[in-house]
Chains A and B, each alone.
Chain A
């Protein structure tokens, strides 16, 4: 099995909301001190889904990360977890894309780096939360796509997926090659082992530009985007919290009940 996983580097979504700042003039997120770069969490689960398949059958897991200012230790984490090869697609011409231009660039890169049976992505990236890339790659490649998976298995040339829906899950099957996007219901991604980390340190990533992957830069990044970002801003919350002060927790609980009753909330 040739498995390709798309991983995006993002600012840590677990960082405290107060540390989040934007540069309004540039319509961009301002780098905040103390906020680390990480692999987008759903993409780590995409790696986990790929490695579970590799655990069961002979497979090569290739990871693609697209972006500039990539941090080596961050983007190498999938290798430390057990992926085989890393491709870094770095080019200013690929930045600031929308669903369509990003999917075009990734699909072009996937075709370039070799044969593929299964492409796995996170359901959405933790920065722009768009959730279109997986479907877009499939449409570009003319193959099937299943979104929001909690389980991914390859059986007899088909991929069987449990797809999360509001009140449970659907089991669906698509022929290979296919794209699957995964959700947190898949379960925790594995830790990198010490051996994995040492192995990853020795592995060299293959760095490619837009020209190297053969992308038409009129169709990539901002130039190829159909959706235009007009304005990025921090929402104003008028929250005013009435704190219940009491001698001990039991009194606080009783006071809270009284407050809610007085406010006719209870």
Chain B
């Protein structure tokens, strides 16, 4: 095996590697094996615990850990300095980060410091003549675009759940080292306010019941809440209900909201704008309920009902209870 081909930026929560970071390592491993090169990852945080060992088990050959109280919360300049240092030390051909709250802020900072091209929110990465072809949605998901970087390192942020993680293999071996970098700090962290609603997390739910503009009010979500509760799922929304305050903005599904890939997804009283579909197209089964038979959601759904959800949902709920 040769030099470091790919550097990923890992994120961890409470000493465990985040799912996106394992997905990035899975994607990186594939590319690196094809290039005959190694995969390194950098983990920045406070109390990163076993995340380093986990990264090796998920495919990293080398892990660089910056573990310090000053990294407890995302600090853009400090985080960027560490990634920049790792890029300088390792000279990777490719740098990958997640399209997450941290990654979408961090990756452009690093790309500008390195004066290199970055493609954001990629859903597919493949090699062509040794260069990485990065595919991403554009125009709110109405079109796809393939990009190549004409500078090095080639950088991409990768959409959550778009890549497959490898099975965790604790017998893999790899080096875990520390890394440090000084930074010119400009951003002062004041506090974090958690707004997550109670119940099953939207990103983890196996059933998602999503409402759109046609729900019309906070009360309009009641049958959706009932259906979600019965199916042990979570309730989400398109942008208009969030903007109108009918539901918490943390429940927004779409290009700039949460990405979900449940087994069953109900799209209710929503048109199916491409920006929204970008957040739910990974669902295995999509059910659409809409008064408008021309709504775009019927073009992506597997099951469709044309009609008023206020009348359809109670009957659906009753029948599911009856079937047991």
B186 touches A130 (CB 8 A): no
* A170/B191 contact (C-beta < 8 A), A227-B117, A227-B149, A239-B299 known: yes
B35-43, B53-61, B85-93, B105-113 - the one binding chain A? B105-113
B150 near A228: Cβ-Cβ < 8 Å = yes
Docked Cα-Cα span, A163 to B186, in Å, equals 15
Binary contact readout B290-324 vs A (1 if CB under 8 angstroms, 0 otherwise): 00000010111111111110011111111110010
Main secondary structure of the interface of A (DSSP, over half): mixed
* B195–A167 CB distance below 8 A: yes
Contact with A along B192-212 (1 / 0, CB 8 A): 111110000001000000000
- When A129-B255, A260-B287 are in contact, do A232 and B249 touch as well, CB less than 8 Å? no
* Docked complex Cα distance between A125 and B307 (Å): 34
When the two chains form the complex, which single residue of A139, A164, A235, A251 contacts B144, counting CB atoms closer than 8 Å? A235
Q: How far is the CA of A157 from the CA of B227 in the complex (A)?
A: 50
Check: A202 CB closer than 8 A to any chain B CB: no
B301 / chain A contacts, CB cutoff of 8 Å? 239, 241
Residues of A within 8 A of B320 (CB): 257, 261, 266
Q: Does A213 contact B (CB under 8 A)?
A: no
Q: Are B192 and A241 in contact, with the CB atoms below 8 A?
A: no
A13 and B188 contact, CB distance less than 8 A: no
Closest approach, in angstroms, between the C-beta of B277 and any C-beta of chain A? 8
A115 within 8 A of B: no
Cα-based distance from A124 to B275 in the complex (angstroms):
13
Instruction: Please indicate the chain B residues that have their CB under 8 angstroms from the CB of A227 in the complex.
Output: 117-119, 147-150
Cβ A237 vs Cβ B308 within 8 A: no
Binds A, one of B21-29, B44-52, B131-139, B163-171: B131-139
Shortest beta-carbon distance from B110 to chain A in Å:
10
Query: Does the CB pair B288–A241 fall under 8 Å?
Result: yes
Indicate if A229 sits at the interface (CB-CB under 8 A): yes
B305 CB contacts on chain A under 8 angstroms: 243-244, 252-253, 256
Q: Evaluate contact between B143 and A257: CB separation under 8 angstroms.
A: no
**Distance in angstroms between the alpha carbons of A213 and B203 in the assembled complex:** 46
Task: Report how far A183 CA is from B148 CA in the complex, Å.
Answer: 28
Interface residues in B272-294 (C-beta closer than 8 Å to A)? 272-275, 285, 287-288
Report B's interface with A, CB cutoff 8 A. Answer: 73-74, 76, 100-101, 104-105, 108-109, 111-113, 115-121, 133, 136-140, 142-151, 186-196, 203, 231, 239, 242-243, 249-250, 255-256, 258, 263-264, 272-275, 285, 287-288, 296, 298-308, 311-320, 323
Which 4 A-B pairs have CB atoms at the shortest separation, nearest pair first?
A: A253-B315, A226-B117, A249-B311, A257-B319
What are 18 A-B contacts defined by CB distance under 8 Å? Answer: A17-B299, A20-B142, A126-B139, A130-B120, A132-B111, A136-B108, A164-B249, A165-B74, A170-B189, A171-B193, A172-B187, A226-B151, A229-B146, A235-B143, A239-B299, A243-B306, A250-B314, A254-B319
> Which residues of A come within 8 Å of B, CB atoms?
11, 13-14, 16-18, 20, 22, 29, 98-100, 103, 123-124, 126-132, 135-136, 139-140, 143-148, 150, 160, 162, 164-175, 178, 183-185, 187-188, 225-235, 237, 239-244, 248-254, 256-261, 263, 265-266
